[in-house]
Chain A
């Protein structure tokens, strides 16, 4: 099991209730499993913020994993480890 910190902003932070939350991820310890756990814990309100009902897929966005960048679409099965810090770089765009 991996214990990770998840950082989020604006509407996602509003749903998670805090800028940083700690989440435990069971095997397989992947990005996909982490988001499944977030949905289980925070329910439909969280899912609405990242799952696109029109495509049935998770929205495309970048994820900061420690000091590197990965993608919700290209790296969904990326391994995560105990102590990792993850930031959801979403939603952004416009301006």
Chain B
């Protein structure tokens, strides 16, 4: 039983499971770390910086997998359903945070833990069963080799409780495929190979059942805060449409705006998009709506293709599915995209990296670099739906060309050569999501400097995409990007969903975000106090990367975005030339108080933020 914790929203207890030693320990959450890093990603970064040495093999037993909640999880604060899974990534080779929604995070708190630290490596397949105070490491030999859905079914029958919540890996995770993901209820910790880290530990699943609750200092204050945020979700125009159409509401409007990445980003307008819009999806395949814990946005769609070659049942499709397999591969059939989504879940692979890797292979095929003898006889022309689906299977099984594509575009381009890296749409090794930066300088510098590379959750292009700030002006965008970083990282430490962006941000940490944190914890943070926590968290993660050897040189954009202007549409001509990016980086580092030459935080900045312990590593 956890001791009484001084701040509301926290349980005050972490669970540590050592799979090598079969050890299970419950330990107190450090009060100072809760106050300085809040929870979620910030707290995980602090723990991993402390506990794993630099330069370790991410797939070795020295790496640790940290599943963390935030103080607001498990309360009635809307969109506070998220959880983070963090580790040193086998894909990007630095600190990585993959965030997922659903129910597992709140359930972990109800079981009595703010977070779970998994270390070592089991000598045979296991799963972790957390049933309130009772924690067991159980044999998972019978689950190994099973896809996530089959494994979940077996676990539900075996445990005999429909209320359990499960995180599990597929075949890709078991085989430590670089971009293997973790399926978590109706959502996934998709990015950065967290599934490979889990697989490297011979850990098939984490199963949680909790019957406790979360204590807050003033229930009425939390209630009133939740009511107000729900009102904002219901009335703010930019949130609307998510309930009806999910994130695919974006497709048609973004295409009209010339910002729908298409044909492996050769252009940003897809003429065949009519059949893959949110509207088309709603008409053709959506059978219901689903929401994560305590969320009124309700963005997840439940879709069914009842028969035929693309027969499938998915939670989705999300915008990123439509981007990665639709416009990137120029496949204009929503049924095919549902099937692609289902296949990625089946194998347990990140759908963004999968789709963008296939898009890269299609461009290789288009340019004559790949021929049918290289693609296992598969026709990989852009637009060939069946060829695309066949290649997902190949990646899932790591067969033939699939073995190469399962490594991701950075490594695949290095192996193939022939200048194919110029159209590998990744930075820091992570393939890009479907949100462009070519017309948006703040987004560009945010992507380049982000700890994960191709993640639209280290930066958001929304402020420029909406005209909230003038996208045509370069000056000042380093500061804009930094303040967007801050609301994102504080949100990822509280663990609230970024789809509430207009309420939580979108330009800087909002009053709503601070109110939610204060109401739950009983803190009385003002803007400067909240911002300082966020800045500390961002610098903590930067220190992790710097200790791994990352420098200014690693803060790059995909070559295509620097060298190839958008060829058509209303954003025609947009790109971020190399010299513009370097200028933006100078501005960003200066605003952050980082060294212009190395891109590392300075001693002065680290001392100011209370990160003195990192000075010896990075300065």
A contacts, CB < 8 Å to B: 7, 9-11, 13-14, 48-54, 59-62, 64, 67-75, 87-95
Contacts and interface: CB of A to CB of B under 8 A. Distances in A.
B554 interface: no
Contacts of A74: 467, 470
A60 B502 CA distance: 10
A54 B433 CA distance: 31
17 contacts: A9-B252, A9-B256, A11-B245, A14-B244, A51-B237, A59-B237, A61-B466, A70-B467, A71-B466, A72-B467, A88-B253, A90-B253, A90-B466, A91-B238, A95-B250, A95-B323, A95-B434
Contacts of B434: 95
A48 B234 CA distance: 10
B278 A10 contact: yes
Nearest to A11: B241
A91 B467 contact: no
B456 interface: yes
Given A14-B244, A62-B467, A64-B257, 13 more contacts: A9-B253, A48-B235, A62-B465, A69-B257, A73-B468, A89-B253, A91-B241, A92-B249, A92-B250, A92-B462, A92-B465, A95-B318, A95-B433
B570 interface: yes
B278 A54 contact: no
Q: 10 smallest A-B Cβ distances: which pairs?
A: A71-B467, A95-B319, A89-B257, A59-B237, A95-B247, A60-B466, A11-B241, A60-B468, A9-B252, A10-B249
B467 A9 contact: no
Nearest to B236: A52
B599 to A, nearest CB: 28
Contact of B319 (A11, A71, A72, A94): A94
B321 to A, nearest CB: 9
Contact of A94 (B232, B250, B258): B250
Contacts of A92: 249-250, 253-254, 257, 462, 465-466
A76 to B, nearest CB: 10
Contacts of A71: 466-467, 470
Contact of B240 (A60, A87, A91): A91
B571 A7 contact: no
Contacts of A54: 232, 235-236
B237 A49 contact: yes
Interface of B: 232, 235-242, 244-245, 247, 249-250, 252-254, 256-258, 277-279, 299, 318-320, 323, 433-435, 456, 460, 462, 465-468, 470, 498-499, 501-502, 569-571
A9 B279 contact: yes
B216 to A, nearest CB: 25
A95 B241 CA distance: 13
Contacts of A48: 235, 237, 240
A11 B570 contact: no
Contacts, number: 124
Given A74-B467, A74-B470, A91 B257 contact: no
Contacts of B323: 95
Contacts of A49: 237, 240
Contacts of A60: 466-468
Contacts of B242: 94
Contacts of A7: 256
Nearest to A53: B235
A62 B465 CA distance: 7
A10 B252 contact: yes
A87 B320 CA distance: 23
B149 to A, nearest CB: 24
Contacts of A11: 240-241, 244-245, 249
A62 B235 CA distance: 20
B238 A90 contact: yes
Contacts of A68: 570
A29 B408 CA distance: 52
B92 to A, nearest CB: 20
A47 B299 CA distance: 22
Nearest to B249: A10
Given A10-B245, A13-B279, A94 B237 contact: no
Nearest to B235: A53
B498 A94 contact: yes
Nearest to B568: A67
Contacts of B456: 95
B571 A69 contact: yes
A66 B279 CA distance: 24
B334 to A, nearest CB: 15
B467 A61 contact: yes
Residue of B237, B257, B434 most packed against chain A (CB within 10 A): B237
Contact of B501 (A52, A59, A88, A94): A94
Nearest to A51: B237
A95 B465 CA distance: 14
A94 B299 contact: yes
A93 B257 CA distance: 13
A91 B465 contact: no
A64 B570 contact: yes
Residue of A51, A54, A70 most packed against chain B (CB within 10 A): A54
B319 A62 contact: no
B509 to A, nearest CB: 17
Contacts of A69: 257-258, 570-571
Contacts of A95: 247, 250, 318-320, 323, 433-435, 456
A13 B245 CA distance: 12
Contact of A10 (B241, B467, B501): B241
Nearest to B456: A95
Contacts of B253: 9-10, 87-92
A64 B258 CA distance: 9
Residue of A10, A52, A90, A92 most packed against chain B (CB within 10 A): A92
A52 B253 CA distance: 20
Contacts of A89: 253-254, 256-257
Contacts of B256: 7, 9, 64, 87, 89
Contact of B237 (A67, A87, A90): A90
A70 B250 CA distance: 18
B244 A10 contact: yes
Nearest to A73: B467
A91 B233 CA distance: 13
B249 A91 contact: yes
